[in-house]
A and B are shown apart, each in its own frame.
Chain A
Amino acid sequence: MENSKLKIGIYELTGCAGDALLILDCEKELIDIFNAADIQSFVMAKSDNIEGDLDIALVEGSVTTEKEIEELKDIRQRSKIVVAIGLCATVGGIQARFLDPKEWNERFKKVYGNIEMTHTKPVQSKPIDAYIDVDFYLPGCPIGKEQFLIFFTRILKGNPPEKSQNPVCVTCKYNENDCLLKKGILCLGPLTEDGCGAICINHNLPCAGCWGPLKTGNRTSEYYLLKEKGFDVEHIKKKMANYSGTKIASFLKELEKEKK
């Protein structure tokens, strides 16, 4: 029996460790999770970790040091399937906001001065698919319990996981919430990937966009709609960029060009 279990590794690069923590937050299912699969490596939870060949690697966090690039490439090499979990791994996280290398360099110097790091060299924050091929994405800051458990059970059974292609607005409407945009509040629902359950709008608060940008979202038209509604242009751009990492870089560049 032992051999037939899928070998799984859970890895953390740079981020808040929230996605790994969320797996530990499945308290009621935790023992089952550990029994259903052969968890070979999970540094946050155990100390007898084995770094060998894997069936599935779940990777959270963005890549921000040279050591992490090597580590990531090594994980890819020994895993059949690599899954990016959480906002940092899927889009680069909030820390991937400084897209221009020059700006990043300046900011880095402001924080750490001219010190030469002895343990590992820093690089600009990027999502993991900037360096390796990624098979599946689980978005979210952090990922959701239900989302993870559904994904996990499906993948254990060998079913390819489904990917949502809806914006937050779809669930929001199911929940019968009033549209905040209509009330004049800047809500990112239309541009953000669904899956959180529209929690913020359920709490009368606008969507911050923390599940990352929806691939099929129509950013250009949304941008002009918001502009028409009278929102400050800079504010719209910043808000769109907060949780989008490197993924809407070309869109933001277009906007800059237009300004000129």
Chain B
Amino acid sequence: MKTISVEHLCRVEGNGGISATIDGKKVTEVKFNIYEGPRLIEQLTIGRTPEEDVSLAPRICAICTLSHKNAVLRAIEKALSVKVPKKTILMRELMHMGEIIESHSLHIFLLALPDYLGYPNAIAMAAKYDLEVKIGLEMKNFGNHIMKTISGRYIHGENPVIGGFGKFPDKKDLLWIKSRAQQFMPFVLKTVSLFCELDYPEIPEDETLYACCDPGNGKFGFWGEKILLSNGESIPADDYKKLTNEFVVSHSYAKHSLYKGKPYSVGALARINNLGERLDGEAGRKFKKYFNEHWKKNPLYHNAAQALEILYCFERIPVLVKKILKDENTPKIIPYSVKEGKGTGLVEAPRGLLIHHYEIKNGLVSNVDIITPTAQNAEDIERYCYIATQKLLDEGQEEKIRDRMDLVVRAFDPCISCSAHSAQVRQGKTDEWKSKLETILTHEEPAFLGIGNFRQGDDAVGIFIGKQLRDAGQKNVWLESSTNEMESFWKSNAGKPVIFLDAIDFQEKPGTVTFLPLLYALNNSSLVHKFSPFVTGPLKYNQLKKSYILGIQPASLKRGKTISPCVKKATREVLETLKSRQKKNRHFKDKE
């Protein structure tokens, strides 16, 4: 067993690392470690006035500060029923463009490009790629300038407040921004062709689900009232928890998220995949020219997507400035008096979907929930690193693993400060596993494998369910406890999806049932149960991908104990669900 790891991820924002554990020819674990410590931001924003929270919450992150500002403002203004005028919204959009340009150009030119040109940093790169570094720096400077002009500071500007702005920028400053954006165009187009034509490696490629805000009206943009998924589903802002089931893992102070048990991606690539068709002007032409199948499944194309978005922003800025200047009689701050309510704000931060949710009672904030893009991407970051590592191993290119993982993580442009802000521990819906199981059984005919140890308290539960299931007449049920069976199990089920029945510790109430992709369970150290290599050893990647684990949270794993009552109760529930499913099937077959 050996571990390949990048201890300190360089050229990302914050403090994190990634590691892959390899056993012979198989990757057994990939972990995206967040060393950034806990800050409990949501806890310290509770009990404050809404105005204080507008100042405090953006401190989560320096580079996404205005995205946080926009998200907290959208949420709180909704909660307090404050309707801001059009000019205010346009100004907020303009400052958001500044942040997108600043963050994207920092990432693609100064943090990511050195990888592709073979340099340790952008300054070393400057000797030969003088123009590229200069464009990057100038562009970043321009983005920063917009942020400062409108928000008051480069980082953590306080000018945007509930109801509007403390002060509007001067007309001449806005006109300067407009003309500068137009001057920049040739360099922006150069940027797009540079990053859309880079030679991105094909490993790792795999399909995923993309999520982003839907700006509405068939337009491209960076906020909205709905979340749009690449499978066509649409989720209203207030139901955001349907998408983001945040949960705690033990190797990180950032929480992870899964949608219906599967990882999903957010960020520039998600936006271009979901909304790219809506781009017009030069950005639309470039989208049609460069977008292809690879963009749909290769996270390294995040860099290309970011370049396209920079172009969109540069085209949008002159339009925005023109509209802002037309409106001269808008009040700076809209007064408000409401003291109670709740609201959710959705914003596309440079690195993806950002959600702020506030509840206000008696003029003070009583509940806060903040979900950041990197926390949502964490699962997919681990999964793509897993795929890359396994494929490179299969191809005998082990020496490339470390750098490739580094490349994949950096492509997601992770913002580690954001992700480690930490959220409330949330329990998933108690019977969500039923619907997930139902979906799998409708499409597949999986084998069941009960695993565990009969002499170790609740660990016996997997074998127990397996036996009962078999007695009830379910086909294709196997038990780990019988050695003979294990030998023939893999022979007769090669390539088939497998549902593992087991006790797993996922930090829930004893007796809670969960249904997870096996890939996730293997990747995640917080699921304390370790599979013996004997069980998962012969599993091929393709099979692994479509296998699941049906787990029950044990109360005790002590030797010599029997199954505890709460776990037994859960067992009955699992059995009944599977049996009723069986009946339906039989019924179905009889009809045929």
Contact = CB atoms under 8 A, between A and B. Distances in A.
A35 B156 CA distance: 29
A205 B62 contact: no
A95 B36 CA distance: 13
Sorted nearest first, the 6 A-B pairs with minimum C-beta distance are: A64-B37, A18-B62, A46-B121, A203-B166, A48-B120, A47-B10
Nearest to A106: B43
B152 interface: yes
A58 interface: no
B122 interface: yes
Contact of A47 (B11, B36, B153, B161): B11
24 contacts: A12-B14, A16-B417, A22-B62, A44-B10, A44-B13, A46-B122, A48-B124, A49-B10, A68-B37, A93-B39, A95-B38, A95-B40, A115-B250, A116-B250, A118-B250, A119-B33, A120-B37, A122-B253, A142-B156, A200-B166, A204-B167, A205-B158, A205-B166, A210-B55
Interface residues of B, number: 74
Contact of B155 (A25, A44, A239): A25
A19 B36 CA distance: 15
B123 A111 contact: no
Interface residues of A, number: 68
Contacts of B121: 45-48
B320 interface: no
A65 B63 contact: no
Contact of A110 (B14, B250, B425): B425
Contact of B166 (A27, A31, A204): A204
B15 A199 contact: no
Interface in A56-97: 62-65, 67-68, 93-95, 97
A17 interface: yes
Contacts of B42: 111
B579 to A, nearest CB: 33
A141 interface: yes
Given A43-B8, A110-B424, A119-B251, A17 B417 contact: yes
A180 to B, nearest CB: 11
B252 interface: yes
B35 interface: yes
Interface string B234-255: 0000000000000010111100
Given A13-B37, A22-B154, 16 more contacts: A25-B155, A34-B123, A47-B10, A48-B121, A48-B124, A49-B8, A94-B56, A95-B44, A97-B44, A111-B423, A112-B248, A115-B248, A117-B250, A118-B525, A199-B158, A242-B55
B10 A46 contact: yes
A141 B423 CA distance: 23
B281 to A, nearest CB: 27
Interface of B: 8-15, 33, 35-44, 47-49, 52, 55-56, 59-63, 65, 106, 110, 114, 120-124, 126, 133, 137-138, 140-141, 144, 152-159, 161, 165-167, 248, 250-253, 332, 416-417, 420, 422-425, 507, 525-526
A24 B106 contact: yes
B62 A119 contact: no
A229 interface: no
A122 B37 CA distance: 7
Contacts of B12: 44
